[in-house]
Structure 1
Amino acid sequence: MTRLLSIMAALVLAVLLLSSSMFVVDQHRYAVVYALGELHEVVREPGLHFKLPPPFQNVVYLDKRLQTLDTPDDDRFLTQEKKDLLVDAFVKWRIEDPRQYLVAVGGADRGGDRIAQVVHTALSAEIGKYNVHEVVSDQREQIGQAVLARVAADARRLGVTVADLRLKRVDYVDPVNQSVLERMKSERLRQANELRATGTAEAEQIRADAERQRVVILADAQRQAATIQGEGEAKASQIYAESFGKNPEFYRFYRSLEAYRATFSKRSDVLVLDSNSEFFKYFKNPGNGK
């Protein structure tokens, strides 16, 4: 009985030793084997692998997949004019060289912190080159690309590859926000004044053009009226000439009547002439020219 127990204990011990000497690496992870606290081997291939049992050797796993790092929402950065901006970014990164990564960051779970430090340093350097307006609107894409290039170069020294970096949020803190609002207000007022001035100038131009057209139209109308009147008078004269040419004596009689009517239009009109004057010809002998 004692012998059986000894055999069973030996078998259990052997199984424990064997299980502690085996480790499995899946396709999403690296396995780093430490021997007495020193980095001994990096296993990249998935499958079943063997090592010495603890405490001689132990295994640390690292994720080889693409990872996402979000920077803190309240990170503040100074612009060129020394104004604070709130900038939030995200980074896509993965471990490329496990050995270099562990040596550089000092632990399997410290990579995110080191990447965050690198991103913060790069953002501070790049945002400090621009003013508030450029960071918020004009140069935002350019700044993101410059930060990505800087972070990728620094991350390679950590054994890390950076796949992408984007600026999610670029916002003002309260004092800067107020100054930006004031600047926007003054800018809108300036644009409104420019529009009013432009509108006034265009209105004056339209009025001047309308007045010029009015003068031209009136002058043209008067010219046409004078032409029509002259043509009418000429035609009337022609008609008179043709009509009175058929009976000259009647024409003279008619002209004398017109002269009498024009001369004695009022009761108070007085005309002193010789009684033998030609003017009284038809008064003296009205039936002479019948």
Structure 2
Amino acid sequence: MKRNTLTALGIGAGLLVALLGYSMTYSVRFSDVAIVTTFGKASRVQVDPGLHVKLPYPVQSVKMLDRRLQMVESRLETQATRDGLQVVVQAFAMWRVANDAEGEGIRNFHDNFGSMEDARSQMEGRLRNAMAAVSEFNFSDLIGRNTRLAEAEKRIHERLMAEKQGGRGLRELGIDVQQVGLSQIILPVETTKSVVERMQQERELRAQIERDKGDSAAAAITSDANAKSAKILAYANRLAFELRAKGDALAGDSVRTMSEDPEFAVFLIWLDALTEITSGHTTIFLPTTIAPLHLLNQPRGAGVPLPEDDVLRNLPARPRSATLQPEDREERDVASDRTGTGGQESANRGG
């Protein structure tokens, strides 16, 4: 009987010691931070993981807080942009329990929120209020090629941190906001129609601007080409006039020179024709009685020879220094034409 009593007392004492040991120790995980409260007031912050000791309940108790990064997301909210369009947006915020070397941020979080669930609920309301910053931007600033979405998210972040509760912001309340962003931007049907119409108008305006630029560039190119063309034509006309004047002057000199001795001039023409005929490698058979082949039958020093039927024999004699008058030049041209015709006929007969 006595032994049974001692056994029961030993077992009870062991259970009491175990229960007391359990109530006086607590374990902290790597992802958590522990707040030790004494009679409900935070007295110590424990951030080191492992097994720790405290006074038994109800003197001291321990509350665990998750110090990992948390995410809160707002509901879809309709916001009006600065240019009057309605958009449905949804925002998110990445936050964690503020932690510093002294643990003051963790104490503030415990005193103001008490638990992670309460903090998350209040963050949703604050984030919904901060989304009003969307109204400071045009619709084209939120989407499109030249978007200012990053600037809009930064503005929401600033409004979220600037909101006060009891004269204190989120940082003073124990929450450290890491990132704020817009996860969705949805257009209602009415807004979609307005956006499409506005985009079409902008496209037409840009297209018209580009067409105007093209027309302006084309007009400039055409004007420059016309100016250069007129300048080139003017230069070409002036050069042609100068060449024509030089040619007329040279022709006048040649005419005056040949007018002094028409027979010698005809002889030179015959020589040029003979040179052209004999310059090639073609063999032809023609009688030597026609000009200018009759020159081949004349001995050296015999003077200016004439073919057998030459029109110059019928011309009236004139002084060698005389100058041909216009009517004489016409007669000379006719004679030359006849001579050429006769030579061709002779060539045909010879062939």
TM-score (norm 2): 0.63
Partner of 1:111: 119
1:22, distance to aligned residue in structure 2 (A) = 1.2
Q: 2:108 aligns with which of 100, 111, 115?
A: 100
1:129 partnered with 2:200: no
1:257 partnered with 2:304: no
**Kept after mapping to 2: 8 A contact 1:34/1:58:** yes
Change (3 A) 1:75 1:159: same
Partner of 2:221: 206
Greater relative contact order (CA < 8 Å, ≥ 6 in sequence):
1
Change (3 A) 1:253 1:111: closer
1:106 and 1:181 mapped to 2: Cα distance? 49
Q: Deviations over 1:249-288 (max 9, x none)?
A: 35556743335689xxxxxxxxxxxxxxxxxxxxxxxxxx
**Kept after mapping to 2: 8 A contact 1:69/1:92:** yes
1:186, distance to aligned residue in structure 2 (A) = 0.6
Change (3 A) 1:220 1:253: closer
Q: 1:84 aligns with which of 84, 87, 94?
A: 87
2:221 and 2:239 mapped to 1: Cα distance? 26
Change (3 A) 1:239 1:259: closer
**Kept after mapping to 2: 8 A contact 1:95/1:160:** yes
In the alignment, structure 1 segments of 5+ residues that lack a partner are 263-290
1:239 partnered with 2:257: no
Q: Deviations over 1:122-175 (max 9, x none)?
A: 222x22333323344554333333332333343124211223334444453443
Partner of 2:151: 142
2:42 and 2:117 mapped to 1: Cα distance? 19
2:332 and 2:255 mapped to 1: Cα distance? 19
Q: 2:178 aligns with which of 156, 160, 163?
A: 163
**Kept after mapping to 1: 8 A contact 2:95/2:175:** no
**Kept after mapping to 2: 8 A contact 1:30/1:42:** no
1:51 partnered with 2:54: yes
Q: Deviations over 1:88-143 (max 9, x none)?
A: 3332333332332233224343222222222222222x223333233445543333
1:45 and 1:68 mapped to 2: Cα distance? 18
1:68 partnered with 2:70: yes
1:254 and 1:40 mapped to 2: Cα distance? 138
Deviates more, 1:9-18 or 1:75-84: 75-84
1:43 and 1:186 mapped to 2: Cα distance? 62
Q: Deviations over 1:187-225 (max 9, x none)?
A: 110111122223223333333333333333333222222
- Give the CA RMSD over aligned residues: 3.2
The percent of aligned pairs where both chains have the same amino acid is 22
SS of equivalent residue, structure 2 residue 117: coil
Which structure has the larger Rg over C-alpha atoms? 2
**Kept after mapping to 1: 8 A contact 2:93/2:127:** no
Partner of 1:32: 35
TM-score (norm 1): 0.74
1:233, distance to aligned residue in structure 2 (A) = 1.3
Partner of 1:151: 160
**Kept after mapping to 1: 8 A contact 2:67/2:96:** no
1:253 and 1:55 mapped to 2: Cα distance? 150
Q: How many pairs does the alignment contain? A: 260
Partner of 1:41: 43
Deviates more, 1:53-62 or 1:234-243: 53-62
**Kept after mapping to 2: 8 A contact 1:155/1:161:** yes
**Kept after mapping to 2: 8 A contact 1:102/1:108:** no
**Kept after mapping to 1: 8 A contact 2:38/2:61:** yes
2:70 and 2:238 mapped to 1: Cα distance? 86
